Structures are given as structure tokens and as C-alpha cells.
Amino acid sequence: MPDETFATATHKPLLATVMGERQPRPPMWIMRQAGRYLPEYLDVREKAGSFLDLCYTPELASEVTLQPLKRFDLDAAILFSDILVIPDALGQPVRFEKGTGPILEPIGADDISDLSPEKVLDKLSPVFETIDRVKSALDPEKTMIGFCGAPWTVATYMIGGRGSTDQAAARQFAYEHPEAFSALMDVLVEASARYLVAQFKAGADVVQIFESWALNLDEDAFTAQVIEPNARIVARVRQEIPDAPIIGFPRGAAGMVARYAKATGVTALGLDHSMPLTFADSALVPSMPVQGNLDPLRLVAGGEQMISRAGAIIDGFAGRPHIFNLGHGIVPQTPIAHVAALVEFVKSGHWR
């Protein structure tokens, strides 16, 4: 469990912000901050062999988790892992191919009864060791973030066998096989909740639910496949970890963002970079902490346009608790110097 109660963890600025306390300047971290834009990561990745071997080797996974904090004065470490460790732990093999990404054997309606959430924690025990190692190495003011993929997002990979731009295979499966799809979501809700509870017990201060593929759903499907499963995970986690701080990141929520925030009960809300600042600020209750939302390609380009937009984001959320971040994950071609410049700007206060 975290070292202190969540409500009194005010010496961790990012955790305190998640819990609703505005800070003199927004704390920051960067989605996918440990990864392919860092040469030191690539060295460890080569040493590990496969990507999943890296995720499941605590010594190496903790090393890459901490790498960005050795370069930049970020306010949090986020566990180095992947959202697809859940299907892997459920018994659906996952492999990562260079230049292609994750590959799974697509699951069918008749396969879902073979999935058992009871087995996931044993398979994922190395992840909890990684969290413990990282937490022990972090400075006291730094926040430890854990995460999981949301059930809909994970299901799109399990059904489609790989990532896609429109998630058509999973969307069609959900329409044509509603009972089987509901059973799959039940498995993923329970497995994900158990996984997050175990992360808290291993030392995570806060967790994030990545709903990365919500952008192609109509409002009915968004309610059924995003809001309801996310709400069930939040409630299930808080049965065991009362007041657990949870960031929801429903990428592509658009006009559904306020409904998502209210209905799921997440503590803070991650915003993608397509979300207008004025809309988000007016749609959400003033007490709701937000996270985001610089376009990752602005970070690639760097320069004045990056700094100007970062300042606009900070100003746009000045009236509420705000964690500065990107609107999606950092991309491999990002220059390290641009990351350093962004961190320096956010932490300098020159945007005031």
C-alpha cells in the first residue's frame, strides 16, 4: 500500500493534484515517458530480448521506469508495462513484432468461457515487484503511477488480433454477439480491477485507466462499452482500496467527457489533444482535476509553437487542479532537447 493515506499525501504534488488540490504550478509527467525516444531505453530493450520479457523482468522494467526521471525533473514515474499483459495473463498469447506492434490470435465467441480472471495475479507478479522496486527508489515527493487498459480498449486487440484505426472487428463482434461480448467485458472488468488493487498494494500512489480507442463509438456504444465497464472497475477497486485515486483517460470522449467523469467516479480526467480547452473547462465541474493535453507532435516540432500552446493549456486550466501532460503518448521521433525545454517551461512559471 502507499506510505500514507491518499488524503494527506500533500508532499507529493502530483498525487495531491489528483486528489483535488491546486498547486502553485501544474505538476507534470508524460504518457509513455519511458520508451523509444530515449537511447538508454533502447539499450535495455536490446538486452531484454522481447518486449514482454522486458515487461516481466523487474530489474530491467524498474530501470526503464526510472530512466526519464534521471533525465528530466518530472513529478511522477509510471510503471513500465503494457495494457496487453492482461490478455497475456488470461491465456491469450501476445507477441510484439518490430514495425507491426502487438499480435494476438483473435478470440472468438466460443473462446471466452476459457478465460479466467483468477489466474492473472500469479502471471503478473513480476509487475508488482517492479512497482515495489521503483517505489523504493523514488524521491518522497515523486508519485508512483500504475495503470491498466480499459476493457473496451483491451477487447479491441483481443477480438481484432492487433491494433486498428477503426476497431471494426470489435465493434461488429459487440453488435453480433452481445452475450459473448458482455461475458468478455465481465472477465476484463474483474481481471483489471484485481490487477489495479494489486498495484496499489505493491506501492502505486495512483492508477490510470487507458481507454485509448473510445473515439469510434456512437453514444449508446460509448455508454455501454466505455462508461459502464470503467465505472465498474472504479467501484470494484474502491471496495478494497477506499478513496483510491484513479485517473480516467477516455481518448476521443468528445462531448461525452462530462458524462464519463460523473458516471465513472474517476478522481481525475485525462484529456486528449483534440479536446478544446474552453469546452472541457466549462463542461466539467470546477473541482474535477484534469490532465493534459499537448499534441505529441507539437513536442516533436518544438520551438515557439510548443511553448505557446503549453502556456495556453496551463492558462486554460488555471482555475482547477491541473496536471500537465500530452494528449496521447510521446512518439519515438521526439527530440530529447524538446522534452527538456517543455519540462523547463512548465516548471519555470514563465507562463504566468
User: Is 25 one of the annotated active-site residues of the chain?
Assistant: no
Q: Please give the radius of gyration of the chain, using alpha carbons only, rounded to the nearest integer.
A: 19
Is 43's pLDDT higher than 60? yes
Q: Which of 36, 95, 162, 236 is catalytic?
A: 36
Is the confidence at residue 10, as pLDDT, over 70?
no
320 given a catalytic annotation: no
Alpha carbon distance 94, 82 (integer Å): 11
What is the distance between the alpha carbons of residues 278 and 294, in angstroms, rounded to a whole number? Answer: 14
Q: Is 32 a catalytic residue?
A: yes
Catalytic member of 45, 133, 298, 320: 45
pLDDT of residue 350: 77
**Model pLDDT, residue 9:** 54
Q: Is the pLDDT of residue 98 over 90?
A: no
Indicate which residue of 32, 133, 171, 232 is catalytic. Answer: 32
How large is the average pLDDT for residues 96-122?
A: 90
> How sure is the predictor about 97, in pLDDT bands with cuts at 50, 70 and 90?
confident
82 as an active site residue: the answer is yes
- The partner residues of 208 in beta bridges, in order of sequence, read 147, 247
Q: Which three cell numbers, joined as nine digits, stand for 259? A: 458524462
Query: Residue 185 corresponds to which cell in the numbers above?
Result: 467485458
Looking at the predicted structure, is the pLDDT value of residue 8 above 70? Answer: no
What's the pLDDT tens digit per position in 121-134? 999 999 999 999 99
Whether 251 is catalytic: no
CATH code of 6-348, in short, is 3.20.20.210
How many whole angstroms separate alpha carbon 301 and alpha carbon 308? 12
The whole-number pLDDT of residue 166 equals 92
Is the predicted pLDDT of residue 246 greater than 60, yes or no?
Answer: yes
Give the residue extent of every domain in the chain: 6-348
Dist. CA 210–CA 153, nearest whole Å: 8
Residue 5 has a pLDDT of 56
| Averaged pLDDT, 104-126 | 93
User: Residue 340: phi, psi to the nearest 5?
Assistant: -60, -40
With both helix axes pointing from N to C terminus, report the angle between 228-240 and 151-160 in degrees, rounded to the nearest 10. Answer: 120
Among 82, 88, 272, 281, which one carries the catalytic annotation? 82
Mean predicted confidence (pLDDT) in 97-117: 90
- Write down how long the chain is: 352
For residues 125 and 201, what is the distance between their CA atoms, to the nearest angstrom? 12
